[in-house]
Structure 1
Amino acid sequence: MNKKAPIHKRLIGVTGNHNALEHDWDEFMRDYSPHGYSASLTKARHMPIIIPLQKDLSLAEQYVAHLDGIVFTGGQDVSPLLYGREPSPKLRNVYPPRDRWERALFEAAVKKDIPILGICRGFQLINILLNGTVYQDLSEYPVGQASAVQHIQEWGRMQYPHHSVNVEKDSILANLFDGKKALYVNTYHHQVIEDLSPSLKATAWADDGVIEAFEVDTRKSSYKIFGIQWHPEMMTDDDNESNMLPIFNWFHNF
């Protein structure tokens, strides 16, 4: 007798991207999302839906109307024009059509009051859209008393952890990982938060003080927002203490 398939409880949107960023006129441009996001959400018993980039920003509310949550994914740099800065010489690829579309999706998700998870670029984008800023390159970050940490992983594959993060007690992140005070994470980013949004509070840091996770400051906002700087979608296969599947279980809280 066949076993029943597990029930998947949440319809979760995953922001997509274009793969022809250097020439967006390419007739063979494709909509895509790295497989790890949909695979990890499926493992967490959700139904992932990849949302393609759209020029018509009014479509954002129609997409979000069907969702129980949304993930803002990793990718290229967010344009500094969104936070009132000129481009640094060390800024890398930006893609304004994605910035515009994801801003519309974020505004629609906040309006509907669904949970929002930001990963890497998505983490930085959320901070920016809530009136925060980022350093456009790690070289601009003033390293404090702690030794600097390598934030662009130069060895191995991304399913392996590369550095530790210190976790705030009683935060979303701590509760997802049974109160752990530290986690080992992978890392691949050259920008970091400069000014944290007034609506957010930091809940994890690397040893050099770089903010690695945040959540909404409930004293100032009722948004359902959780963000992390690393790539948990690449660390949900292994059955070990570094497995990041609990990040995606967060949506079950709503």
Structure 2
Amino acid sequence: MKPIIGIPGNILTQQSPDFVGLPITYTPQGFIEGITTAFGLPSVIPLGNPNDAKEYVSRIDGLLLAGGQDVSPLLYGEEPIPALGTTSPVRDTFEIALINEAIQQKKPILAVCRGMQILNVAFGGTLYQDLASSYSDLTVQHVQQTMYDNGAHTVTIDPDSRLAKIYGPTYVVNSYHHQAIKELADPFEAVAWSKDRLIEGFEAKDPDTSIVAVQWHPELMIKTDEKMQQLFTEFVSRVKKNKVPAL
């Protein structure tokens, strides 16, 4: 049977002039296609009550954390600075509950962009709220101006990491973020970096904990770069290996 990959959804309210203000639960299509191509079954989890996280996670085989709003700095003990973007406390709280349950139930995780950031915060890490105003060593364009399905800057990758098995020691990735990892949470180790030394990828230190997180957006490049699809394929493979066969 194909493994079920849970993708926590987002809420859109400005989709059409005919339906202004109508909340729509969604996830970017690239995640759906990436998982489907990897022979997984994507399932969008609507934002909901954190008390339901245990049941949601019990019904999936892996958790994919997508991009979106800024993560609230209140979660890591900071006040919001003027350059902070839109946040969603409801999404933050719900996704942290899902993350905690995925760890408890030993379900593999793939985290992308905001997903990487909320995963770090869930385990005690911190973020740069805005790179332009908070990171003095900024020399790379992290909100790219070229087309979204093209790589824009290079990353250096730890040769012993899961990511290196896909991308090699260096690779060109796309980039759409103004927040980034500041202090990495203790359970994780950095495995990819931009040329201005920002963390672009991390993995779990514990080899028995199946977690990979990236700052770039592979879902936007799966049709132009086969290695971006390979990230989803590797994730589904991890999920299959982890899945307990049905009796």
- 2:203 corresponding residue in structure 1: 215
**Cα offset, 1:27, TM superposition:** 6.2
- 1:77 corresponding residue in structure 2: 70
Asked if residue 12 in structure 1 is aligned to residue 5 in structure 2, the reply is yes
- 1:154 corresponding residue in structure 2: 145
CA distance in 1, matches of 2:186, 2:146: 36
Letter paired with 2:213: G
Q: Is the 8 A contact 1:237 1:243 kept in 2?
A: no
- 2:210 corresponding residue in structure 1: 224
CA distance in 1, matches of 2:146, 2:217: 15
SS of structure 1 residue aligned to 2:227: coil
Asked if residue 68 in structure 1 is aligned to residue 61 in structure 2, the reply is yes
SS of structure 2 residue aligned to 1:89: coil
Asked if residue 234 in structure 1 is aligned to residue 220 in structure 2, the reply is yes
**One of 27, 46, 49 as aligned partner of 1:33:** 27
**Cα offset, 1:159, TM superposition:** 0.9
SS of structure 2 residue aligned to 1:250: helix
Letter paired with 1:51: I
RMSD: 1.6
CA spacing shift, 1:107–1:181, aligned 2, 3 Å: same
SS of structure 2 residue aligned to 1:98: helix
**Cα offset, 1:176, TM superposition:** 2.6
CA distance in 2, matches of 1:52, 1:80: 23
SS of structure 2 residue aligned to 1:243: helix
Higher helix share: 2
CA distance in 1, matches of 2:35, 2:73: 30
**Cα offset, 1:107, TM superposition:** 1.0
- 1:141 corresponding residue in structure 2: 135
- 2:41 corresponding residue in structure 1: 47
- 2:245 corresponding residue in structure 1: none
CA distance in 2, matches of 1:164, 1:44: 25
**Cα offset, 1:222, TM superposition:** 4.2
Letter paired with 1:247: L
- 1:204 corresponding residue in structure 2: 192
Q: Is the 8 A contact 1:134 1:194 kept in 2?
A: yes
Asked if residue 109 in structure 1 is aligned to residue 102 in structure 2, the reply is yes
- 1:191 corresponding residue in structure 2: 179
CA distance in 2, matches of 1:216, 1:97: 26
CA distance in 1, matches of 2:68, 2:180: 14
CA deviation digits over 1:130-182, x for unaligned, max 9?
Answer: 11000000121131xxx7110001122x11111110010110101233xx110
Q: Is the 8 A contact 2:166 2:227 kept in 1?
A: no
CA distance in 1, matches of 2:149, 2:7: 20
**Cα offset, 1:88, TM superposition:** 0.9
Q: Which runs of 4+ in 1 moved over 6 A?
A: none
Letter paired with 2:215: Q
**Cα offset, 1:9, TM superposition:** 2.8
CA deviation digits over 1:215-238, x for unaligned, max 9?
Answer: 0112xx843211000000111112
SS of structure 2 residue aligned to 1:90: coil
